[in-house]
A and B are shown apart, each in its own frame.
Chain A
Amino acid sequence: MNRIIKIIFLDILKNKIILAYTLILAILSWSSFGLEDNSAKGLLTILNIILFTVPLVSILFATIYLYNSTEFIELLLSQPIKRKKIWLSLFLGLSLAMVLAFFIGAGIPLLINAPDSVGIMMLVIGCLITLVFVALAFLSSILTRDKAKGIGIAIMGWLYFALLFDGLILYLLFQFSDYPIEKAMIVVTAFSPIDLARIQILLHLDVSAMMGYTGAIFKDFFGTSLGLLLSFSLLCLWIIIPFFISLIKFKNKDL
């Protein structure tokens, strides 16, 4: 397995898009941290990167890479290698490369400029979000043979989690504003990895505001070590479940 991961990993590292991605992340992070003497603006920029750019690039790049690797996958399939191993190697190779890109681009400036709980939390969450959207890319690329369709599914998926889902929540919040729906909302957030990530970072970044009003309910839930554990487990499920479904589909796929 390691041999295949290594091959894929090195292949992706040579890819110009991934280099550009790393570079853009680095430029954004460093410039926003350098802009002011406090780290607040830089943290906000990286938060937006994690909630917006990382999911988009992760899911798009991984989907396109998978479609472009059809030949490679076929070649591997005629070799004495387990299907599971091929798919897992692809996932690990891609994930490793994307996480590395995020770490170099955004993680290092984060650790240098904000080496506290916020910075570390953002770094971990950013890596997890990368993995989640790589896993979703595997799912979207296995759903259809058509490359254009697959990329379409990937973009729709991203749009849904980055924008539409929050719109839906806002709508629900105002429709049911007369009811005590805070607890229900906590459950609803589990259905969006981006929201899970955002709330965990909020609890560190805007701790003062989250302590007040309804924020306290979220803080009481997500802020406890149990809530933290649960959020992380949910994020991990968001990695495992899409990938696992794609793996089952891949095992039975005809090439």
Chain B
Amino acid sequence: MIEIKNIYKKFGKLEVLNDINLSFKKGECIALIGPNGCGKTTLIKSILGMVIPSKGDILFNKKSILKEFKYREQIGYMPQIGRYPDYMTVGQIIEMIKKIRNSDQVLDEDLVKAFELEKIVDKQMRTLSGGTTQKVSATLAFLFNPEVLILDEPTAGLDPLASEILKEKIIKEKEKGKLILITSHLLSELDDLITQIIYMQDGTVHFHQTIADLLESTNEQKISKAIAKILKNKSNEQNH
């Protein structure tokens, strides 16, 4: 569904993405992990068209997204830190996005109910806590039943209860055959969600494997340990 071909991105002299090649298909739930500043968010923003790659191409349903915008109708995006106009209320934000999308699709308001957003519709965005803002972001991402969900650190800042609600929602969507892309540095809570894992470092993809392959190749039971093992092996290779 999404193909990333030889993407490079430089911010000034800093190379953030260096020859990234990836391919995502429907029904996959992919974890994009790596240390801080490895280029995860830049990669996601590239897919969303918010960051324009210096070189390379990204295909969405086999069509280049460069200079395109329509494809974003099929993407729900939850940013790492959701930033909204200060003086708009929760209700206004949701209404505004509805108006902008102007879609006649049936809205998926599961999360509105689950997070009990009705109680805070009249609150201005600047008065909300980080966690509550994330709830709004998550709700907006799922609202239009998108084919692709891109979630940047979705559980960061959420309380355990909300975190659980979101996870359930993600699983539910995955079962509908949607493509879900999650970035995270906390692995444990994602263990039961993901089907594939991408590890990025210094702007390059270290590895891209299905969970099954990963566990098998490393003979580990837990994803975090498997990754640690791979990284250790890699650094050993480099030292020699």
Interface residues of A (CB under 8 A from B): 3-4, 7, 11, 14, 68-72, 74-83, 252-255
Contacts and interface: CB of A to CB of B under 8 A. Distances in A.
B83 A77 contact: no
Contacts of A14: 87
B79 interface: yes
Contacts of B100: 3-4, 76, 79, 81
A79 to B, nearest CB: 5
Chain A CB within 10 Å — which of B11, B50, B71, B79 has the most? Answer: B50
B83 A74 contact: yes
Nearest to A254: B51
A77 B96 contact: no
Contacts, number: 61
A75 B70 contact: no
Given A3-B99, A7-B99, A11-B85, A78 B52 contact: no
A255 B44 CA distance: 12
Given A82-B69, A83-B69, A254-B11, A74 B50 contact: yes
Interface of B: 11, 45, 48-52, 69-73, 75, 77, 79, 83-88, 96-97, 99-102
A72 B83 CA distance: 7
B85 A74 contact: no
B48 A78 contact: yes
B79 A255 contact: no
A82 B69 CA distance: 6
Given A80-B72, A255-B45, 18 more contacts: A3-B102, A11-B85, A14-B87, A68-B86, A70-B83, A74-B83, A75-B84, A76-B100, A77-B50, A80-B69, A80-B70, A81-B69, A252-B52, A253-B52, A254-B11, A254-B45, A254-B52, A255-B50
A68 B45 CA distance: 21
Chain B CB within 10 Å — which of A70, A78, A252 has the most? Answer: A78
Contacts of B73: 80
Given A78-B79, A79-B97, A80-B73, A71 B84 contact: yes
A80 B101 contact: yes
Chain B CB within 10 Å — which of A71, A75, A83, A253 has the most? Answer: A75
A7 B96 contact: yes
Q: Which 9 A-B pairs have the closest CB atoms?
A: A71-B83, A80-B72, A80-B73, A254-B51, A78-B77, A72-B85, A255-B50, A82-B69, A77-B50
Nearest to B16: A254
Contacts of B51: 254-255
6 contacts: A72-B85, A75-B83, A77-B50, A78-B75, A253-B52, A255-B51
Nearest to A11: B85
B79 to A, nearest CB: 7
Nearest to A71: B83
Nearest to A78: B77
A76 B101 CA distance: 10
Contact of B71 (A7, A72, A80): A80
B223 to A, nearest CB: 29
